[in-house]
Chains A and B, each alone.
Chain A
């Protein structure tokens, strides 16, 4: 069974630009969560999607948005990039995302904002 895949693996952008990251969950998994990981803040929850609906949202500004498609693939968008957005962005999938199922993480997309 293929694992969670994320594209691209690395990105370099400049301040003010926007970026779209993609995540393909494990086949059959319907919940996709997104996290931001930085050395100072650790892993922070961005949002979770289930059946194309955003079910939970963390404390991030509206510049961070996402969506999920009918095949459970998910995208995350960050607009008007700031230097502080430089981080590793991880997505994780689980069967139904009810907390009783473990999350499987993708390799992440490392975003550098210059």
Chain B
């Protein structure tokens, strides 16, 4: 079966750093994606990991450990506009994209 877990909600302060974790169990694996979704809008791509390690992209970084079925998204220098839902998704050969439930992040002033 497939299972992707993320915390439901997180709160952080403007300027701080926050780490959003994602654990997964899928029958196949060909990459892990992170998407950002603002309320009422479509998801937008943030990052893609297929090999173990850290991928950095500006204020956003994503880490993957395939042996542990674990990933995290790190957001630095938080801004109010970062308040959104963050979706972890695994590309599973047998099932296409499998999305986690999403983590709703609230950034407070």
Q: A residues within 8 Å of B by Cβ? A: 4, 33, 35, 42-45, 48, 56, 58, 90, 97-100, 102-108
Choice from B93, B95, B101 contacting A45 with Cβ under 8 Å: B95
Pick the residue among B97, B98, B101 that contacts A103 (CB under 8 A): B97
Interface residues of B, count at CB 8 A: 23
Q: Are A45 and B96 in contact (CB under 8 A)?
A: yes
Contacts of B35 in A (CB 8 A): 105
> Can you sample 8 A-B contacts with CB below 8 Å?
A90-B42, A99-B30, A99-B31, A99-B97, A100-B30, A102-B33, A103-B97, A108-B42
Q: Indicate whether A56 sits within 8 Å of B99 (C-beta atoms), given known contacts A99-B30, A100-B31.
A: no
**How far apart are B84's CB and chain A's nearest CB, in angstroms?**
14
Binds A, one of B16-24, B43-51, B63-71: B43-51
Q: Which residues of B contact A35 (CB under 8 A)?
A: 99
Complex interface bits, B40-63 against A, C-beta within 8 A gives 1, otherwise 0: 011111001010000000000000
- Inter-chain contact B42/A105, CB cutoff 8 Å: yes
- Candidate in A43, A44, A100, A103 with the most chain B CB atoms within 10 angstroms: A43
Taking CB atoms, residues of chain B closer than 8 Å to A102 are 33, 45, 48
Task: Give 10 A-B pairs besides A4-B42, A90-B43, A103-B33 with Cβ atoms closer than 8 angstroms.
Answer: A33-B96, A42-B101, A43-B102, A45-B96, A56-B95, A58-B96, A90-B42, A99-B30, A99-B31, A102-B45
Chain B residues near A44: list those with CB within 8 A.
99
